[in-house]
Amino acid sequence: VFLINGSDGAALEATDRGLLYGDGLFETIAVINGDMPLWDRHIRRLQEGCRRLGFDCPGEDQLHQEAKSLVSDDSRCVLRIVVTRGSGGDAYRPPKATSPTRVLHRRSWGPRPESFWSQGIRVRLCDTRLAVGSPVAGLKHLNRLEQVLARREWDDPDIPEGLMLDDTGRVVEGTMTNLFVQRGKRLITPPVDRCGVAGVMRGMVMELAHEAGLELEQGRLTLNDLDNADGLFVTNAIIGIWPVRELDTTSYEITAETRRLQSLLSGIIGSRP
Amino acid sequence: VFLINGSDGAALEATDRGLLYGDGLFETIAVINGDMPLWDRHIRRLQEGCRRLGFDCPGEDQLHQEAKSLVSDDSRCVLRIVVTRGSGGDAYRPPKATSPTRVLHRRSWGPRPESFWSQGIRVRLCDTRLAVGSPVAGLKHLNRLEQVLARREWDDPDIPEGLMLDDTGRVVEGTMTNLFVQRGKRLITPPVDRCGVAGVMRGMVMELAHEAGLELEQGRLTLNDLDNADGLFVTNAIIGIWPVRELDTTSYEITAETRRLQSLLSGIIGSRP
């Protein structure tokens, strides 16, 4: 079910810069009992993205009203919001006065084994690497070919995620998740200033780390750091926290602190999946 | 005027992966007296792009037929072809059987001062840099936020192009053009294996260099190399060759070899602009 600029319908102008250049942003929002517990974080990130790309973000009230009209009767679903710069301009050059396009799309929650949350997942290492030094690093923008190519690499339904290195060999994130690595009482997640996405759930977990007895750190990670980790987990706004049980042939325990973070998270966003 | 999957109309499904992820490619083709002199090069690049992204390219005959039906009565126009992976799949993960979307769009040739070709242009250096190590380097794909942000930096209509450095400080290309630097009898253009676009006109000029008395070289370029150049020019499939007369405060002559290349090109694609 779609709302495009406030109207029903699932079609978009072929001149939209979102299609022509990926000139826009998106948010993937968990809806739980008709509520969107992380709404504020999603909207703040969207606004920050619009600021960095240089066009006006649709009003928060309008987006919220439209979102509620789409999801109000759903106990659990996923709401995707796409905001593009709209049409116009002269090729890459954006128009001075923009009229952004907003696409709201309600999707089913989708089947995800409960065991991914409770027992952890298997992940693999992707060959596709992230380019380094992107001027749009950190943003949830529509230029996602790196993730598409990485996700194309495997087919095994028992491996729900793959980790990606950047061009210099640092470990950055999953194709659709952020990565956290625990070593002793330190919880490390890679910075996203050179590539990668500043996930909403990443931000949430960073704030909860202290309460789970961990010292949070943004730091560059190598594969060697992963080998020597006490535990790994991946996060996003829909899945919450999935502990990593296996990375290719390396096995991990699920740490008590990871369990504690899951428990803290459940109190805020409801139980998973 | 649009043809989308062979039908009139200017609307696209909001689920198209071209919009969601920039999961596709495009070509911008010069039409001159209803003819498309560089058609083969465009199609070969499109096919190579589809191969690297991993989906079937629409048939060349079909594309050609549709292109001709759009442009046949035009003496001079621009044809844009967008090919996306279509809809489907599970988020980033592409569907196994793809049904690519093709959008053909005829646009006016647009006003470009004849002097840009004959007397050269002023260019500026952009602050926005290209990320390095892209798995889709070289392709004319739909992930073009870097170019959009770079082109947003200036407003002066007398400066039709800006040059971009990569994250390591090497000079790569213009926002919508490739760059060539002449030093003595050497003609140097940066490689596009780590970032940048393998322009159709770039390929054409590389093949013509020898005939213009120049030794062609793909090499990494610094700003210092630009300072010490005998001449610069930029290329794309629509503009052909624009000599650079001024880069910020540095002035350049238009070399005899650049004139020779323009002349060779005119013989193939007709006079410009």
> Hey, how many other C-beta atoms are within 10 angstroms of the C-beta on B53?
25
Residues in A closer than 8 angstroms to B131, CB to CB, are 131-135, 137, 195
Q: Is the pLDDT of residue A273 over 80?
A: no
pLDDT of residue B73: 75
Q: Grade residue B271 by pLDDT with cuts at 50, 70 and 90.
A: low
Q: Is B28 a catalytic residue?
A: yes
> Is A22 in the B-facing interface, judged by CB distances under 8 Å?
yes
Question: In chain A, whose CA is at the least distance from the CA of B94?
Answer: A152
pLDDT digits (tens, 9 = 90+) for B208-254: 999 999 999 999 999 999 999 999 999 999 999 999 999 999 999 99
What pLDDT score does B272 carry?
61
Q: How confident is the model at residue B75 (pLDDT cuts 50, 70, 90)?
A: confident
Any B CB within 8 A of A122 CB: no
Percent of chain B whose predicted confidence (pLDDT) is above 70: 99
Express each pLDDT in A20-38 by its tens digit. 999 999 999 999 988 999 9
Positions of A marked catalytic: 28, 140, 173
B27–chain A Cβ distance below 8 A for any pair: no
- Band (pLDDT 50/70/90 cuts) for residue A113 is very high
Q: CA-CA distances (angstroms) from residue A158 to A164, A175, A256?
A: 18, 15, 24
Tell me the pLDDT band of A272, cut-offs 50, 70 and 90. low
B27, B28, B101, B146: the catalytic one is: B28
pLDDT of res. B202: 98
Q: What is the pLDDT of residues A148-202, one digit of tens each?
A: 999 999 999 999 999 999 999 999 999 999 999 999 999 999 999 999 999 999 9
A133 touches chain B (CB under 8 A): yes
Query: In chain A, count of helices (H) and strands (E)?
Result: 8, 15
When pLDDT is averaged across residues B60-74 and rounded to a whole number, the result is 92
> Does B131 reach chain A within 8 Å, measured CB to CB?
yes
User: A97 — contact with chain B (CB < 8 Å)?
Assistant: no
**pLDDT value at position B246?**
98
pLDDT score for A73: 74
Q: Percent of chain B, pLDDT > 90?
A: 91
User: Which residues of chain A neighbour B168 with C-beta distances below 8 Å?
Assistant: 133
Q: In chain A, what percentage of residues exceed pLDDT 90?
A: 91
Taking contacts as CB-CB distances below 8 angstroms, the residues of chain A near B88 are none
Measured between CA atoms, how close is A209 to chain B, in angstroms? 29
Average pLDDT of chain A, as a whole number: 96
The CA distance from A200 to A238, in Å, is 10
Would you call B135 and A129 a contact, using CB atoms and an 8 Å cutoff? yes
Q: What's the confidence (pLDDT) of residue B273?
A: 54
Residue B117 has pLDDT above 60, yes or no: yes
pLDDT of amino acid B269: 84
What DSSP designation does A221 have?
B
Is the CB of A102 inside 8 Å of chain B's CB atoms? no
A145–B10 CB contact, under 8 Å:
no
A2, A23, A195 ranked by CB distance to B145: nearest: A23
Q: Do A92 and B14 touch (CB under 8 A)?
A: no
Q: Which chain B residues contact residue A18 at CB under 8 A?
A: 19
Instruction: Work out the angle between the directed axes of helices A200-208 and A39-53 (0-180°, nearest 10).
Output: 120
Instruction: Report chain B residues whose CB lies below 8 A from the CB of A193.
Output: none
Backbone phi, psi, residue B90, to 5°: -120, 95
Q: What is the pLDDT of residue A271?
A: 65
Band of pLDDT at residue A72, cut at 50, 70 and 90: confident
Q: Could you read off the pLDDT of B162-190 as tens digits, one per residue?
A: 999 999 999 999 999 999 999 999 999 99
Q: Tell me how far apart the alpha carbons of residues B130 and B149 are, in angstroms, rounded to a whole number.
A: 10
Describe the crossing of helices B256-269 and B200-208 by its angle, rounded to 10 degrees. 120
CA distance B28 to B30: 7
Establish, for the pair of chains A and B, how many residue pairs have beta carbons separated by less than 8 Å: 183
Q: Which residue among A18, A26, A129 sits closest to B133, beta carbon to beta carbon?
A: A129
Catalytic status, residue B173? yes
Subunit contact B92:A129, Cβ cutoff 8 A: no
Please report residues of B whose CB lies closer than 8 A to that of A100.
Answer: none
Q: Is B134's CB within 8 Å of A136's CB? A: no
pLDDT of residue A110: 84
* Mean pLDDT, residues B29-55 taken together: 96
